Amino acid sequence: MKVRIAAPEAPPIPAARPPSGAAQSAGQTVTPWLMVVLAVILFSGGLFGYDQGVISGALHGIKATFSLSALLVEVVTSWVTLGALFGALAGGELADRIGRKSTVLIAGAMFTGGALVQALAPDTVILVAGRLIVGGGVGVAAVAAPLYAAELAPTTLRGRFVSAYQLAITAGIFLAYLVDGWLSQGDAWRWMLGASAVPGLLLFAVALLAPESPRWLMKVGWRSEAAAQLQKIRPGVDFKPRLDAVAASLRREAGRASWAEVFHKEWRRPLLIGVGLAVFQQVTGINAIIYYADQIFASAGFTSQSSQTMVTTWAVGGVNMLATLIAIAFIDRLGRRKLLLAGLLGMGLSLCVVGIAFRFISTVPAGVAAAGPSGAGIVTLLALVAFIICFAFSMGPVVWTVINEIFPGHIRGRAVAVATAANWGSAFLVSQGFLSLIGVIGNSFTFWLFALFCGAGWVWIYRAVPETKGRSLEQIQDLWNGRGL
Ligand code: BGC
């Protein structure tokens, strides 16, 4: 298969000379050190997905052990998201101050500690504390890992590297669904929640080994250390012009990394793009489906628990993971915009179909629905599968990729944190509000509302989000000051 390495408007930075035995991909060398970087991304994303997906299956056992009130059930479920929101903000500050690698180390420690606290919790208060710690780890990792990936990946593989993070999230969610299915009785919830201590520890271990980001080292003024890391990651590459380009771009930025600088009007455009993409990723409904898939399928006529678990695991979890591979294959070839626009179109159309199908489902008498999914129920299932596929090759991976490549180096950590916190804030609102919204306006209008957001997102992306494929991080910054247009 022929692969175009760079967009015509942005000449590629010279590729590494391939040392013998190294894997080749898209004209760039993937060295063993880049594999370590990849491992950091995969563990971080996997833990993000697992900790997000596992709670649905664990809740039943937790309720039985601690006799939780309805309010506490909500707290146990949603405080991971709250922890993630604060973790993301702290993660940005940490990533800029102590470096990308050390921040990932902290995330690994939080994943491990939080998992153990949850697994051993003697009462609800400690359990909730464990949920918050894990949530904090999810937030910190959600900022640090893709940022790290974007800064260390070769330009022409950057989209793939950050998409590998999304692939790991989806694998984590899928695995959580499977584990929930296997361990469904009694105190097994302790194993479900505690299991993530192992990958948490592994993340810590690979992060210890991993190189620090040369771009961050340059930002804090350690050029010789940056050169050493760059040579290690990309042996054979002439590192001097690369570091000169980073230094020039840091000089142009000239400002100190501060929160005020993040909100400075010079960077308003990338900030709006980052936050806008983060919010549209959530308000188009993905987590309403990820969290409440069982209930949606129950209303669509999949009445037995086993049929709901099966369609949720495979039609949502499995399909989400597999379809992310489409993004990995195409993001650095077709570009970000094409995937985003095609995906949103498909998501919007599928949601319209789900809304129409629910008009028919609601008119089916209860007795008939109990006999199994009706034709409209099957249409709902197929349309949701189409929605998941379209999300998985577009708004899932591409949003994280773009968020992590558009900001100037000196504020990247904090700016990514703002966008990530906006993502978790919107995820929290959608997951909290979804069932109530259905109660007020019904299934059909709720899905049509998500479809409307897809339409609005499509128009906004078409007008506001530039193509970043094939440009180095430094060249992307020129887009905001007119030099690259
Ligand atoms: C989103 C998550 C979502 C996941 C589903 C991620 O990109 O940020 O909120 O649950 O995709 O695959």
| Nearest partner of 265 among 485, 481, 484, judged by Cα | 481
pLDDT at 50 over 70: yes
Q: Which helix (H) or strand (E) holds 402?
A: helix 397-403
Q: Which residue has the higher pLDDT, 282 or 303?
A: 282
pLDDT at 347 over 80: yes
| Nearest partner of 277 among 221, 200, 336, 195, judged by Cα | 336
Q: Which helix (H) or strand (E) holds 30?
A: strand 28-30
Q: Give the distance (Å) from ligand 1 centre to CA of residue 20.
A: 38
Q: Which residue has the higher pLDDT, 118 or 299?
A: 118
pLDDT at 25 over 80: no
**Shortest-distance Cα residue to atom 5 of ligand 1:** 170
Predicted pLDDT at 481? 75
pLDDT in tens, 158-211: 888 888 999 999 999 999 989 888 886 666 899 999 999 999 999 999 999 999
Using pLDDT thresholds of 50, 70 and 90, give the confidence band for residue 423.
very high
Q: Provide the H-helix boundaries in 11-69.
A: 32-53, 55-66
Rounded Cα gap, residues 332 and 352, in angstroms: 30
Q: Percentage of the chain with pLDDT > 90?
A: 52
Using pLDDT thresholds of 50, 70 and 90, give the confidence band for residue 16.
very low
Nearest atom in ligand 1 to 397's CA: 7
Predicted pLDDT at 420? 93
- For residue 116, the number of C-alpha atoms closer than 13 Å in the C-beta half-sphere is 10
pLDDT at 449 over 90: yes
| Nearest partner of 134 among 96, 107, 156, 164, judged by Cα | 107
Structure tokens at 188: 């097994």
| Nearest partner of 6 among 35, 397, 14, 239, judged by Cα | 14
Q: Which residue has the higher pLDDT, 437 or 242?
A: 437
**Residue to substitute in 166, 403, 424 for testing ligand 1 pocket (most ligand atoms within 8 angstroms of CB):** 166
Ligand 1 lined by 170 (C-beta under 6 Å) = yes
> Which domains are assigned to the chain?
24-211+257-481 (1.20.1250.20)
pLDDT average, residue stretch 137-166:
89
